[in-house]
Amino acid sequence: MYCIGFCCWGTSTDISSCAVLVLLSRRAAGCRCLSFGLNLVCFFSCRYMCSLSLFHYSEYLVIAINNPRSLSLDSFLLNHSFEYNLAAVSSWIEFTVEKVIYPEMKQITWLSTIGLLMVIFGECLRKAAMLTAGSNFNHIVQNEKSDTHTLVTSGVYGWFRHPSYVGWFYWSIGTQVLLCNPICVTGYTLASWRFFRERIEEEEITLIHFFGEEYLEYKKKVPSGLPFIKGVKVEL
């Protein structure tokens, strides 16, 4: 305001100089805003990549601790399925497109923070479930009962029958909330829910075959942990 007022009373040279200063100030402010926006986007995407990397690395690490005989490169779960990889690529595409078209959408810090908390909760719950299950945990549903198989009902298994799936469910949705991806939040929720519903039903058929009445009693007392998924129905 002082500069503009001074120019109004000064010479044409003063006015030109002041106009240049105003223009440079506006450009500097614009650069600062752009830099701030890019920093926020980098902050969100870095948190996402760290979460993704930690998830897959810790999957391998926990299997190495719990069940080293079943350890392989597949334990990273990087090649979990075509659908899983497609979902990941879709989220990257959505993030990039929305960042270009509507960058403000990727600067909602409170929403991204909620997503990060969901990611942390899901990651911690899943790894706690894997460590509690010990050698009983396997990435592949087992069709034959080994001598070391026991029904784990303590720890986080006292809260949910399938805590590792509950953790993965909320972790996957949290990654998309973290990225502020509205389309993938919906898609991940529906796809994950359907996958775990089918997986739980398949797994519980095996568990009932392995443990019989012991598992049925456990099933009556402890919920699956996932919304609207009760597990396999048993007709007496």
pLDDT score, position 236: 57
Under 8 Å between Cβ of 137 and 164: yes
Under 8 Å between Cβ of 151 and 212: no
Average pLDDT value for residue range 110-138: 96
Residue owning tokens 């969901």: 118
Sign, CA torsion 187/188/193/196: positive
197 is written with which tokens?
């519903």
**Residue 31: is its pLDDT beyond 60?**
no
154 is written with which tokens?
């303590």
Q: In whole angstroms, what separates CA 86 from the centre of its chain? A: 15
Model confidence at 36, pLDDT cuts 50, 70, 90, reads: very low
Distance (Å, rounded) from C-alpha 218 to C-alpha 158?
A: 9
- CA–CA distances in Å: residue 229 to residues 90, 110, 152, 208, 223: 26, 30, 20, 17, 9
Average pLDDT value for residue range 199-226: 96
Q: Which of 227, 81, 86, 206 is nearest to 151 (CA)?
A: 206
Under 8 Å between Cβ of 95 and 181: yes
Average pLDDT value for residue range 219-230: 96
Q: Which of 90, 56, 84, 225 is nearest to 156 (CA)?
A: 225
Average pLDDT value for residue range 132-136: 94
Amino acid at 221: K
Distance (Å, rounded) from C-alpha 26 to C-alpha 2?
A: 16
Distance (Å, rounded) from C-alpha 202 to C-alpha 142?
A: 10
**In whole numbers, what is the pLDDT of the chain averaged over residues?**
85
CATH 1.10.3720.10 matches 30-139+148-221: no
25 is written with which tokens?
């100030």
Model confidence at 45, pLDDT cuts 50, 70, 90, reads: confident
Helix (H, G, I), strand (E, B) or coil at 33: helix
**Residue 83: is its pLDDT beyond 60?**
yes
